[in-house]
Amino acid sequence: ELLGDMLLDVGRPVEALSAYRRTLAREPRRFRSLDGARRAATAAGDRAAAARYASELETLTRPAAPGVPRS
């Protein structure tokens, strides 16, 4: 995740996206990695991946219905 952040900061979004994906493979649904992957995909011009990560973030942050435990 930190590697992805650093790569994104120096303008290497394709490599950053790869780093975020490696983190997500080990730690699925990790907010910072999903957001970083969304930002990297956007910067790399991969609109489909950016939309997919944005959707995952939306699902992750959506409040649960009352009485329904979050998964």
User: What digits encode the pLDDT tens for the residues 2-58?
Assistant: 999 999 999 999 999 999 999 999 999 999 999 999 999 999 999 999 999 999 999
Please tell me the predicted confidence (pLDDT) of residue 62. 86
Side chain identity, residue 5? D
Helices (H), the chain: 2-9, 13-26, 31-44, 47-61
DSSP code at position 64: P
Please tell me the predicted confidence (pLDDT) of residue 50. 98
Structure-model confidence comparison of residues 67 and 7, the more confident one: 7
Asked if residues 40 and 49 have their Cβ atoms less than 8 Å apart, the reply is: no
Please tell me the predicted confidence (pLDDT) of residue 66. 73
